[in-house]
Amino acid sequence: MIIITIKKIAELANVSPGTVDRIIHNRGQVTQDNVDKVNAIIEQYGYKRNILASNLALNKKFRFAVFLPKYENIEYWKSQISGIEKAAIEFGKFGVVLDYFFYDFNEVSFKKTVEKVLDFDCNGLLFAPIFYEESVRFLNEYEKKNIPVVMIDSNISNNEEHVYVGQDAFQSGYLAGRLISFAVNNERQVLIFKITREIESTSVYLQRIDGFYSFFKDHTELTNFKFSEVTIKDTGIDQLSLEIFSGINSVFVPNSRAYIVARFLEQNNIKGVRIIGYDLLKENIEYLNKGIIDFLINQRPEEQGYMGVNYLYKKLVLQETVENTNYIPLEIILKENYFPAKK
């Protein structure tokens, strides 16, 4: 077995090591004949230069911009940041440096932060595109910088150069439909309960609802299910009323606020309503444990954050090819597989 090095390649090609180095690093001033000979030997013996060693020797830094919504009061985004910071520690020894750009949950703050991100000089961008139309405009502008982009939480781009890591939103809604279908009563009245912020006309939110309905369209034998929708702004949860839940058997909450429905049902002693929502927030887990929330679909946000930085690291530091779409497996969480059963 031949251990292939620059020196060995030069020997086999009958050229100088300097010539081999120029060919590997594409620095020109080499005849095409020598290029062909060296590349043939590289292909035959599988030479791959030690990129990490080279970067460390040059003390090379890789700056990644992290462009996310503020997370102080939102548990889901706190988990994303935890994963990102874990990756920052792990890859920091290889020259990775993170710079954070946070925006409030409104378009004015988002647009102001967009300007800062566009002006910032970096090697890669980790981005959570919350506002759909504004995010599309931002990405179209950012493409001019020719900088790799990894998106988490929402995938809004058809650009084949962008990488996405996160849930398949449509599939998660489809899964919620299947979970709702596990009912025994002949007639099931299903409420899609939308507790929204201004921002949640995003593609993720709508794709979940679309996926939910698609499950029942694909299963025409399930004729006993009837559907209704209610939309309430999260600033107006005092609008909840007994009338909303009159005759309702199941509730699908297409975001992380299932606990708001669960709390209202508990306070009003309404029993026998199946609730399905998203994310392992503290409040959701509380009502899961009480048996008021039946299912939570976990998007594993900490893993999303970690893998987002990891893919930038692979793409830019290791110069590896990265798949464009990377779905995080969806987890179905019940009381019984989150809490140990009492003996």
Residue in this structure with the two tokens 């699908």, named with its chain if needed: 252
- So what's the pLDDT on residue 291? 94
Q: Please state, in angstroms and rounded to a whole number, the distance separating the CA atoms of residues 190 and 17.
A: 72
Contacts of 203 (CB under 8 A, 6+ apart): 132, 154, 155, 156, 169
> Is 149 within 8 Å of 311 (Cβ atoms)?
no
- So what's the pLDDT on residue 21? 78
- So what's the pLDDT on residue 73? 72
Question: Which pTM was predicted?
Answer: 0.80
- So what's the pLDDT on residue 1? 44
DSSP 332: E
- So what's the pLDDT on residue 22? 80
Long-range contacts of 160-165 (CB under 8 A, 24+ apart): 160/324, 161/324, 162/324, 163/311, 163/315, 163/322, 163/323, 163/324, 163/325, 163/326, 164/324, 164/325, 164/326, 165/304, 165/307, 165/308, 165/311, 165/326, 165/327, 165/328
Q: Euclidean distance between the first and final Cα of the chain, in Å?
A: 61
pLDDT tens across the length of the chain (343 residues): 455 677 888 888 899 888 887 877 666 678 888 888 888 887 777 665 666 666 666 678 999 999 999 877 778 899 999 999 999 999 998 899 999 999 988 889 999 999 999 999 999 999 998 888 899 899 999 999 999 999 998 888 666 678 999 999 999 999 999 999 987 667 799 999 988 765 555 668 889 999 999 999 999 999 899 999 998 877 667 788 999 999 999 999 998 899 999 999 999 999 999 999 999 999 999 999 999 999 999 989 999 999 999 999 999 988 888 899 999 999 999 998 887 655 5
> Is 61 within 8 Å of 18 (Cβ atoms)?
no
